[in-house]
């Protein structure tokens, strides 16, 4: 039977029924009716310091858990601020639903106060963007199911402010239509044939395999056909990198082991790989055969010898049953090269020595989030990833300011796990308000600030390309005072012993803490991988 409900009631119920546990928002008059409906509805609500951060937090929530959350922002400027977060989630493949307020229906298209064409803006950075009209409950439920089906991507829903208080009849009926791609037996047979003919097969696993929880199945296939497993950057963790089958990352800043295995292999079998330019820069022109397995058709202009579209696990299992057993790994991995400077005691500290020391103290299941800059490179080179969704960075978009809000989302989706952030000073300065979000909500993120006083990545470039004419400064600031002023305990360390003690203290602290590690601005990230 249909009863009468306000638009805000319908949207709030749809958000709850879509399984949303946490919603990030920033206030605006136009969205208050929905906020007031939501706040006692069971969803946990976090007010971020900035709309960009609200979206990064929802993005981090998804990356660390594969569970969807939502963001609520207001008309005009409130929602334009969210565009950065949305771009990042879109490029990196994260599911979330952004609900934005819009001017009243009768003002649409009149250049009203705060009116801006949000749907045009988000059309390039969302999987779907819709303006809800009259079937609010169903349209919101549909938006959430779109965001999590297929390749994960954000969805934008725009609501004119008058709709929140308008009355509608609804019976809360919603039936999800799931389409499943039928298994193509002929292609499975062809894949089996190609693998049986191959002497040196190599498995490349991407973020799609993480989203499909395919780790165990990929491992079984690898064992049966003797194929090493290499991964993309976002695909790290599908195999424990300590395992003798895990050869590390392929592509930009990849491992030597993966590079050698790739060069010697005669067949590449890829699972859930986007083939971004970060992974495939050395793939084109290589004569080896490629079997690509993906949930959706790959948009990249790469010629595959065989492309299988559908449920990854179903495809992998059918291939594994059909292939002949081969002798074990056709190539063994070598010990990894140690990076220069990781044991250095020099003062100012080398950033790699500090990051190395932090990672030495972590447990396998701890979640590491990084911001963008030379710190991302150091962290990527120094971290061994053991478990999916425990190493998070803005891999395809490289957004500075992503780290702190994303780590908030990661912690909220994994309250039982330790979450640590590695950030640069430039990136942290962009999102300082999120320290207040940490302290106000007692969100237990350990913030490790690699404080080199410069935009390290830019300085390194200017040093090499512009004859050392590093031309600007990040200014004089006291991060400890700033952090404490925003309610997060903080400590500044300089020498090696001080740094080691500070890391111990931070990791053992109760609640959030910031460790300001002063490092050498002249240290350069190495070229290539390890």
Ligand X SMILES: Cc1ncc(C[n+]2csc(CCOP(=O)(O)OP(=O)(O)O)c2C)c(N)n1
Residues that bind Mg ion (CB under 5 A): 424-426, 452, 456
CB of 451 to ligand X, least distance (A): 8
Partner touching 214 among ligand X, Mg ion, none, CB below 5 to 8 Å by kind = none
* b/e code 236-265 from CB counts within 10 Å (16+ = b): bbbbbbeeebbbbbbbbbbbbbbbebbeeb
Residue 51 CB, nearest approach to ligand X (Å) = 15
In the complex, the residues that contact ligand X under the rule CB under 6 A are: 371-375, 398-401, 424-427, 450, 452, 454-458
Identity of the residue, 292 or 523, whose beta carbon is nearer to ligand X in the bound complex: 523
Q: Which residues contact 300 (CB under 8 A, 6 or more apart)?
A: 274, 275, 276, 280
The residue number with the shortest CB distance to ligand X is: 424
Q: What angle do CA 402, 406, 407 make, to 5 degrees?
A: 120
Distance between CA atoms of 500 and 519, rounded to whole angstroms? 14
**Nearest approach, Cβ of 453 to Mg ion (angstroms)?**
7
Q: How far is the CB of 143 from ligand X (least distance, A)?
A: 27
Give yes or no for a contact between 293 and 165, defined as CB atoms under 8 angstroms apart: no
Question: Nearer Cβ to Mg ion, position 424 or 529?
Answer: 424
| DSSP for 355-377, written as a single string | HHHHHHT--TT-EEEE-SSHHHH
Most distant CA pair in the chain, distance: 75
Residue 455 Cβ vs Mg ion, minimum distance, rounded to whole Å:
6
530 binds, options ligand X, Mg ion, none, Cβ within 5 to 8 A by partner type: none
Q: Can you tell me whether residue 271 is helix, strand or coil?
A: strand
Q: Is the CB of 221 or the CB of 421 nearer to Mg ion?
A: 421
Nearest CA-CA partner of 67 in 105, 19, 25, 113:
19
**Six-digit token pair at 45?**
């609500």
Nearer to ligand X, 55 or 400 (CB): 400
In order of 130, 254, 271, 279, the CA distances from 249 in angstroms are 38, 5, 14, 9
Between residues 219 and 479, which has the closer beta carbon with respect to ligand X? 479
Task: Choose the contact partner of 495 out of Mg ion, ligand X, none; CB within 5 to 8 A by kind.
Answer: none
| C-alpha closest to that of 414 among 66, 96, 65, 71 | 65
Closer to ligand X by CB, 243 or 340: give it.
Answer: 340
CB of 397 to ligand X, least distance (A): 8
Comparing CA positions, the residue from 464, 469, 405, 411 lying closest to residue 437 is 405
Strands (E), 425-481: 445-451
Backbone angles phi, psi at 381, to 5 degrees: -75, -30
Looking at the Cβ atoms of 150 and 468, the one nearer to Mg ion is 468
Q: CB under 5 to 8 A by kind: which of ligand X, Mg ion, none does 64 bind?
A: none
Minimum CB separation from Mg ion for residue 341, in Å?
17
- Alpha-carbon distances, residue 279 vs 201, 224, 239, 373 (angstroms): 18, 25, 17, 19
| For ligand X, the closer CB: 51 or 241 | 51
CB of residue 435 to ligand X, shortest distance in Å: 15
């Amino acid at each position: 039977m249909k009863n009468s409900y306000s638009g805000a009631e319908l949207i709030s119920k749809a958000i709850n029924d879509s399984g949303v546990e946490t919603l990030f928002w920033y206030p605006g008059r136009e969205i208050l009716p929905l906020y007031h409906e939501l706040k006692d509805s069971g969803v946990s609500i976090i007010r971020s310091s900035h709309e960009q951060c609200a979206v990064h937090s929802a993005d981090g929530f998804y990356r660390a858990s594969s569970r969807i959350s939502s963001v609520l922002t207001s008309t005009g400027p409130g929602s334009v601020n969210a565009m950065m977060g949305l771009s990042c989630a879109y490029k990196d493949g994260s599911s979330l639903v952004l609900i934005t307020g819009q001017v009243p229906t009768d003002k649409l298209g009149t250049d009203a106060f705060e009116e801006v064409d949000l749907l045009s803006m988000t059309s390039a950075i969302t999987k779907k963007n819709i303006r809800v009209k009259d079937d609010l409950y169903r349209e919101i439920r549909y938006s959430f199911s779109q965001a999590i089906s297929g390749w994960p991507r954000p969805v934008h829903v725009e609501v004119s402010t008058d709709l929140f208080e308008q009355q509608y009849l609804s019976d809360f009926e919603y039936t999800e239509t799931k389409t499943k791609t039928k298994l193509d037996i002929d292609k499975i047979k062809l894949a089996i044939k190609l693998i049986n003919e191959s002497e040196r097969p190599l498995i490349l696993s991407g973020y799609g395999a993480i989203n499909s929880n395919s780790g165990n199945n990929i491992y079984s296939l690898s064992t049966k056909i003797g194929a090493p497993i290499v991964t993309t950057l976002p695909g790290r963790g599908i195999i424990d990198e300590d395992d003798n089958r895990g050869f590390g990352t392929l592509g930009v800043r990849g491992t030597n082991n993966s590079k050698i295995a790739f060069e010697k292999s005669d067949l590449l079998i890829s699972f859930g790989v986007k083939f971004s330019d970060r992974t495939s820069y050395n793939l084109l022109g290589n004569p080896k055969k490629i079997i690509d397995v993906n949930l959706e058709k790959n948009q990249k202009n790469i010629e595959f010898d065989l492309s299988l579209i559908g449920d990854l696990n179903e495809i992998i299992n059918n291939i594994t049953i059909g292939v002949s057993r081969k002798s074990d790994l056709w190539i063994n991995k070598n010990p990894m090269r140690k990076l220069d400077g990781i044991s250095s005691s020099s003062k100012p500290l080398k950033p790699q020595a500090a990051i190395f020391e932090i990672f030495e103290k972590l447990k396998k299941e701890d979640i590491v989030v990084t911001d963008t800059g030379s710190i991302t490179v150091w962290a990527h080179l120094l971290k061994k990833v053991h478990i999916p969704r425990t190493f998070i960075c803005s891999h395809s978009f490289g957004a500075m300011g992503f780290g702190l809000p994303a780590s908030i989302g990661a912690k909220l989706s994994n309250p039982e796990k330790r979450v640590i952030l590695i950030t640069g000073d430039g990136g942290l300065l962009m999102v300082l308000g999120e320290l207040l979000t940490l302290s106000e909500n007692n969100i237990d993120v350990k913030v490790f600030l690699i404080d080199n006083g410069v935009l390290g990545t830019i300085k390194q470039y200017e040093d090499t390309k512009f004859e050392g004419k590093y031309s600007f400064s990040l200014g004089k600031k006291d991060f400890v005072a700033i952090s404490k002023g925003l309610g997060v305990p903080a400590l500044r360390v300089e020498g090696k012993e001080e740094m080691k003690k500070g890391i111990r203290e931070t990791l053992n602290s109760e609640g959030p803490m910031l460790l300001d590690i002063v490092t050498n601005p002249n240290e350069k990230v190495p070229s290539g991988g390890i």
